[in-house]
Amino acid sequence: MAQTDKINIGGVTKDIIAPKVVVDQTATTVTIEPNCFNVWDTAVSSLTLTLGTSTAIAGKTNEYHLRFTVSGSSFALTFSGSTITFNNTPTWADTKTYEVSILDDLGLVAEFS
């Protein structure tokens, strides 16, 4: 189980569980776990992800969060065993960095230069 930190929001103490996980830089087929910030520190030409459950918290909303930089013009992000509906159809661009958040099979994508 991930270490739990606390934050006080409006007088209510909440748990924060989001350790940063630097993913093996040679891995492009990976199981990512919820409630972790999965980061690739080197550019990748494709990613095939499985949404794991080992760090899921029963009865809570579990979020998948990842950041990566695209290498090449034919980048593909695919999910094994899950259908993710994105807020828009991502157009991946070479050398751009992206953050993806997945909650209840809905994905949000943000692009950074």
pLDDT tens digit sequence for 45-84: 999 999 998 888 888 888 999 999 999 999 999 998 888 9
Nearest in space to 41 (alpha carbons), one of 66, 14, 65 = 66
Model pLDDT, residue 19: 72
SS3 content of the chain, % helix, strand, coil (to 5): 0, 50, 50
Tens of pLDDT, residue by residue over 12-42, are: 666 665 678 888 777 889 999 888 889 999 9
| pLDDT higher than threshold 90 for residue 8 | no
| pLDDT higher than threshold 90 for residue 44 | yes
